[in-house]
Structure 1
Amino acid sequence: MKTFLQRFLLFCFIIASGVIVVILVSNFIINSKINYTFSSKKNILILGDSQTQCALNDTVFNNAINLSESADTYFYSYLKLKKIIPHNTQIDTLFLAYAPHNVTKTQDNWLVDESINGFKLPLHFFLFESSDLFNFAKIAPLQLIKNYPKVVAKNASHLFRIYKKNPINKFGIGGYKALFHELGESNTEKPASILQKKQTQYATTDLNYLKKIYNYCTNKKIKIILIATPFNQEVVGVDKPYLNKYITFAKEEIPNATLFNYSNYLMEKKFFADDVHLNHEGAKVFTKMIKNTLKLKLHSKIKTYNNDF
């Protein structure tokens, strides 16, 4: 029995070691072959969750690249930022999703959520540096182990994308998402209802990564614009319990960032896919407005705190 157990443990060790070697080698190949470089005309990077993913159309905003992704925490945005910037020194501005709900404990819960990490961790693993791996191991160690087989599969698909010479926004780690339905056409639960269920405690772990993003951009002399995208007027104020923390955190912890809070920006219902996401037509209108706003305010020292809910 003892011999059987020893052989079984040895077998498990060999398999685990083999998987780790495959992951490390594939990560090395991906990062040595992948093309992180954008057009020299792309000087604006957009990161964040589904709100910026659906609201800022980078075909309209033609000097920007949108790598926002649904349910992205600041941890995953930080991973992308560190890989993208060294290959794109022309980037001088970062648009980063920052709405009142982003300061809640829900952000920390997303970091350890099994379903979210089940698809995000394998997709983003090639972006991990050793320090990121160590930090994630402290956040959700069991999920790191559990998702290793998925990492192998996703790395294989990334290698195929490299072979096909796909751009970075085709690797599943973010990109503008066009929603073609209008508010009321979907039978799924409204995101506003989901927001109301968010915990009122404030985030800790993920907000540390927001500060890391801020410090990184400050060191690289990249202007940060924090942006909250429009809500349907019927649900404006759903995030009001977090507003004070939202404003205070921006002023005290990331003081040189510019805050564009368009949560209560008036747009017709026909421009919404649901209560908190713009549809494709809405994104066109909103993106054009932001593009024009930048022409007036990009080089201004005035911060926009539009917080009248």
Structure 2
Amino acid sequence: MRHFLIKTLLFTAMSCLLMAAITLIPGYLVNRFSKFSIKKNNTIALFGHSHAECAYNDTLISNLTNLSHSAESYFYTFQKVKKYLPQNPQITTVIIEFSNNQIDTKMDDWTWGYTYMSNMLPQYASFMAPSDLELLAKHNSKYFMNCIGITARINLIKVLTFNYDYTGKTGGYFKIDGSRQLPASDVTGKTVKFSPKKTTVSITNLQYLRKIIDYCYSMHKSVFLIRSPQHQLYEYRANEAEFELIRKRYFNDVRFLDFNDFPLKNNDFADFGHLNFEGATKFSKYINRFILSGTLNPGATGSFVQKENNIIYSISSDRYPL
């Protein structure tokens, strides 16, 4: 009986060691040899979720790489930023999408909800600190180990195939053709008043936004928060008061480029939160001129005025803090 127990314990211990090796060694190799590259002449990196993914056509914007990904919380963006900046020293400026829905608790589901975690954790687990993994396990212990199993399998395949290149697999501009049925009137010049909405805030998402900003500062990068255009009827605009309070209280050290009310027509939107190809083309061309004007240069102040289709749209230090 004693020998049987000893053999059982040894077998269990060896099995645990084997499982740890299968999980940890491929993860280490993926972290060690992973490649995150952008074009050598691109000095601006843009990170965000689907709003930015659909708004910035980086083929039309000088020196900018759009690395945004749909349904990506700041928790996963942080892991991505930690890989792109060291491997691309040409990056001097980091722009981070900061929109109304990113303060909402729906971001918690984007972080540890099974649907999102099972998709994002295998992509970025190898780059996470123990505290990051602990956070996921704490909030969704039921499915965390299942996602770790998926991660181990994917990492093992990467190692066996020597596939460590993440270039082009972590986000980018996403083209949307057409538009859903929107109200007939144009967005330009319209003001919609929402009833005050009590916002339940995602503390975790805001904490990881702060981590991203602080990491970029530690790497001596210029950092901007940016809000891309949102339709006047977009539901999350109802939390504007809370959004602005949070921005001023916790991120006041970061220059904010606010294009929330950029003049667009209804047929420039795919839906209330996203631009379609036509809207992205107009907005991206404007952003290109905005960048070429030197407004993102260190210490730049003042205004940049564009005349297009008889519309004068002014970005000034009064309305849009730079």
Using the TM superposition, give the Cα deviation of residue 96 of structure 1 relative to its aligned residue in structure 2, in angstroms: 0.9
Rounded to whole Å, the distance in 1 between the matches of 2:172 and 2:161 is 15
> How large is the Cα RMSD of the aligned pairs?
3.2
Using the TM superposition, give the Cα deviation of residue 269 of structure 1 relative to its aligned residue in structure 2, in angstroms: 2.6
**Aligned residue in 1 for 2:265:** 268
Q: Structure 1: which amino acid aligns with 2:296?
A: L
**Aligned residue in 1 for 2:220:** 221
Rounded to whole Å, the distance in 2 between the matches of 1:227 and 1:255 is 13
Counterparts in 2 of 1:69-80, with a 5 A limit? 69-80=69-80
Counterparts in 2 of 1:227-266, with a 5 A limit? 227-233=226-232, 235-236=233-234, 238-266=235-263
Indicate if the aligned counterparts of 1:250 and 1:257 stay in contact, CA closer than 8 A: no
Rounded to whole Å, the distance in 1 between the matches of 2:7 and 2:110 is 39
**Aligned residue in 2 for 1:116:** 116
Indicate if the aligned counterparts of 1:53 and 1:67 stay in contact, CA closer than 8 A: yes
Indicate if the aligned counterparts of 1:19 and 1:152 stay in contact, CA closer than 8 A: no
Indicate if the aligned counterparts of 2:44 and 2:93 stay in contact, CA closer than 8 A: yes
**Secondary structure in 1 aligned to 2:270?**
strand
Q: Structure 2: which amino acid aligns with 1:75?
A: F
- Listed as ranges, the gaps of 5+ residues in structure 2 are 183-194, 303-316
- The structure that has the greater radius of gyration is 2
Query: Deviation per CA, 1:5-25, whole angstroms, max 9, x where unpaired?
Result: 998887666555433322322
Rounded to whole Å, the distance in 1 between the matches of 2:124 and 2:54 is 20
| Residue 286, structure 1, aligned to residue 283, structure 2 | yes
Using the TM superposition, give the Cα deviation of residue 222 of structure 1 relative to its aligned residue in structure 2, in angstroms: 1.6
Rounded to whole Å, the distance in 2 between the matches of 1:206 and 1:81 is 15
- Listed as ranges, the gaps of 5+ residues in structure 1 are 186-195
Percent identity over paired residues: 26
Rounded to whole Å, the distance in 1 between the matches of 2:318 and 2:291 is 12
Rounded to whole Å, the distance in 2 between the matches of 1:158 and 1:54 is 29
**Secondary structure in 1 aligned to 2:256?**
strand
Q: 1:11 to 1:45 in 2, by over 3 A?
A: farther
Rounded to whole Å, the distance in 2 between the matches of 1:282 and 1:161 is 40
Indicate if the aligned counterparts of 1:260 and 1:305 stay in contact, CA closer than 8 A: no
Q: Structure 1: which amino acid aligns with 2:33?
A: K
| Residue 154, structure 1, aligned to residue 151, structure 2 | no
Query: Deviation per CA, 1:145-193, whole angstroms, max 9, x where unpaired?
Result: 1212211232245457854x855222xx3222222232239xxxxxxxx
Indicate if the aligned counterparts of 2:27 and 2:152 stay in contact, CA closer than 8 A: no
Rounded to whole Å, the distance in 2 between the matches of 1:305 and 1:6 is 73
**Secondary structure in 1 aligned to 2:215?**
helix
| Residue 209, structure 1, aligned to residue 243, structure 2 | no
Indicate if the aligned counterparts of 1:260 and 1:304 stay in contact, CA closer than 8 A: no
**Secondary structure in 1 aligned to 2:96?**
strand
Q: 1:9 to 1:70 in 2, by over 3 A?
A: farther
**Aligned residue in 2 for 1:143:** 143
Q: Which moved more, 1:133-142 or 1:278-287?
A: 133-142
Query: Deviation per CA, 1:178-218, whole angstroms, max 9, x where unpaired?
Result: 22232239xxxxxxxxxx9x982112122111111121122
**Aligned residue in 1 for 2:58:** 58
Rounded to whole Å, the distance in 2 between the matches of 1:220 and 1:106 is 30
Rounded to whole Å, the distance in 1 between the matches of 2:2 and 2:199 is 52
- What is the count of residue pairs matched by the alignment? 291
Q: 1:42 to 1:141 in 2, by over 3 A?
A: farther
Question: When you count helix as a share of all residues, which structure comes out higher?
Answer: 1
**Aligned residue in 1 for 2:296:** 298
**TM-score, normalising length: structure 1:** 0.81
**TM-score, normalising length: structure 2:** 0.78
